[in-house]
Amino acid sequence: MNPLKTECTEKNEDAVSGSPLKVRVFKRRWLQLFLYALCSVCSSFQYPQFTIIGHIIIFRYYDVSILAVASTSIMLMVGYAVFLFPGLFLMERIGMKWTVVIGAAFTCLGAWIKVLSTAPDRFPVLLIGQGMVAISQVFIAPVPGKLAAFWFGKDQLALATAFGCYALHVGLTICFLTVPNFVRNHDDVAKIGIELSTIHWILAIACSIVTLAVLLFFQNEPSMPPSESRALQRYTHESFGKGFLVSLKMLVTKNRNFIILWNTYGLITGIFNSMPILLNPFFLTHFKNCEVDLGIINLLLCLLGTIGSIIIASILDKTKKFRVIAITVTTSSVLCEILFAGTLHLEIKWMVFVSISLFGIALISYSAIGFELCAEATYPESQALSTGILSISGQIYGAFVTPLLVKVIDVFGDTAAHVAIVVILSLGTLLTILDKIDLRRQRAEEHAARYEALSQGVSDKIDK
């Protein structure tokens, strides 16, 4: 008997019936997505926590170099790249629930260590706390694609992935909104320490609550698959499992489309990862003493970018025009960066706000689109493995691009840095155009639909 043809007795659920594969979409999928989002928010909040107030950290409180403060963000990229493969291997062994629990626990540990860093001579303690948060990213960042595939139906895959990815940007948004407004550049260093300590305590308590909630309520996978493609994937994996190393070799050596996508995603996402650090010199060079406004443009970059990107993800779910939408988004990123650079040099503040919002939509949209393209190009391999390897590209490129652009600003000025960003985004657009994505998951859904129609036709004939 086919193990996929199982019955489910659970009540009050949204069912997708009629398929010979017996798929079902559970209402509690939204709880799983919400819990993961909370975990991601707690982790991503700490990513630009110190670069956004770099002028205070550098010149007033810790008295360290610009590169030292930039390292609080760069180390998250480097840590992700170093620990990703052990993390993915562990994820395949222990399942999605315990992966997220470990990620939440490391985030919580890092937050509590930073509670101890509130003193001008304790910058190394702060770096240790950031190191714990960097490790947590290994267990959090690859999850959205896998969670969407495990819990959501085929008509909500891109939307669920988008919500999972954009939880990271919600954390960034909250950081940009709160930290610059709460931690001010006081003449009294002790007052800065009190405000930093308050932020650390609130964050540590919030992370503790989220970790407990994830431990108690987050689940690995429902009893029945939510889509035909997941049903076929689960059956294939259980029957013909190839193992972590074999799947890894298939992805990195024999899937040309995935390799091109890996570099494209790295170029586009690497620029986004560098923006929290670059916006400070970009903006304050043209608008002196506007630290609060700097927080606003970071907020607009993430918040409006996230809202617009969710709309694009919904369009992707309905149209399935993966390649067209990807090319449109990457091309838009180039045009929006040119607009952003131009408005900065014209020094018209409201136009800077508009241009950074459009730039955010283009950059953030590609994160979810890239995950969906990855799932299509690598099906039926594990989404955690494929999207984990994909997301490492953004960290690796970001770790190289960020210090490079900081150096360009120091030596040649912000105009040269904008030119470099345009070149990088243009290269990403060119690779997107050249990448002929093989929509394997879509074909699996179509084959399942044809099989369902054929089975229904045979059943009708038998009934007659």
pLDDT at 134 over 70: yes
pLDDT: which is higher, 95 or 327: 327
Q: Sign of dihedral through CA atoms 290, 334, 438, 393?
A: negative
Average confidence score pLDDT of the chain: 79
Question: How high is the pLDDT of residue 241?
Answer: 44
What value does the mean pLDDT take over residues 398-425?
88
pTM of the predicted model as reported, rounded to 2 decimal places: 0.67
The domain defined by 28-218+242-463 carries CATH number 1.20.1250.20: yes
What value does the mean pLDDT take over residues 366-376?
79
Angle between helices 256-286 and 349-378 (to 10 degrees): 170
The model's pLDDT over 343-360, given as tens digits with 9 standing for 90+, comes to 988 888 889 888 888 888
What value does the mean pLDDT take over residues 110-124?
89
What value does the mean pLDDT take over residues 74-97?
78
**296 pLDDT band (50/70/90 cuts)?**
confident
- d(CA 442, CA 207) in angstroms, rounded, equals 38
Question: How high is the pLDDT of residue 11?
Answer: 39
pLDDT at 254 over 80: no
Residue 42's alpha-carbon distances to 141, 172, 405, in angstroms, are 12, 9, 28
- d(CA 360, CA 341) in angstroms, rounded, equals 14
